[in-house]
Amino acid sequence: MTDRRRLIQQAVLAASGLAVGGDVFAQLKRSDVDPEFVVKNGLIRQSIMGWTFKDHFTAEELAHHCKEIGIVAMEGIPREAYPAVRKLGLEISLVGSHGFANGPCNPKYQDEVVAKLEDAIEVAKAVNSPNVITFTGMNFDGMDREKATQACIDTWKKVVPKAEAAGVTIVLEHLNSRDDSHPMKGHPGYFGDDVEHCIDMIEAIGSDHFKLLFDIYHVSVMNGDVIRRIRQYKDIIGHYHTAGNPGRAEMDDGQEINYPPILREIVETGYTGFVAQEFIPEWDDPLLALRHAAQLCDIDEE
Same domain, 106 and 18: no
Same domain, 114 and 242: yes
Distance CA 41, CA 142 (A): 51
Same domain, 11 and 118: no
| Count of domains forming the chain | 2
Work out the average pLDDT over 217-226: 97
Same domain, 66 and 159: yes
For position 182, which CATH number holds?
A: 3.20.20.150
Same domain, 4 and 139: no
Same domain, 5 and 123: no
pLDDT of residue 281: 97
Does 91 reside within a domain?
yes
Same domain, 20 and 88: no
HSE-CB at 206 with a 13 A cutoff on CA atoms is 2
Does 178 reside within a domain?
yes
Contact by Cβ (8 Å): 69, 106: no
Does 89 reside within a domain?
yes
Same domain, 100 and 236: yes
Same domain, 261 and 187: yes
Same domain, 126 and 178: yes
Same domain, 164 and 122: yes
Same domain, 1 and 145: no
**CA distances from residue 94 to 12, 123, 188, 233 in whole angstroms, order as listed:** 39, 10, 24, 20
Distance CA 173, CA 20 (A): 36
Point out which residues pair with 14 in neighbouring strands: none
Share of the chain above pLDDT 70, in %: 91
Mean pLDDT of the chain: 92
Asked if the model's pLDDT at residue 228 lies above 90, the reply is: yes
Does 302 reside within a domain?
no
Does 260 reside within a domain?
yes
Asked if the model's pLDDT at residue 21 lies above 70, the reply is: no
Share of the chain above pLDDT 90, in %: 88
Identify the domain containing residue 112 by its residue range.
33-297
Angle at 196 between CA 194 and CA 199, to 5 degrees: 115
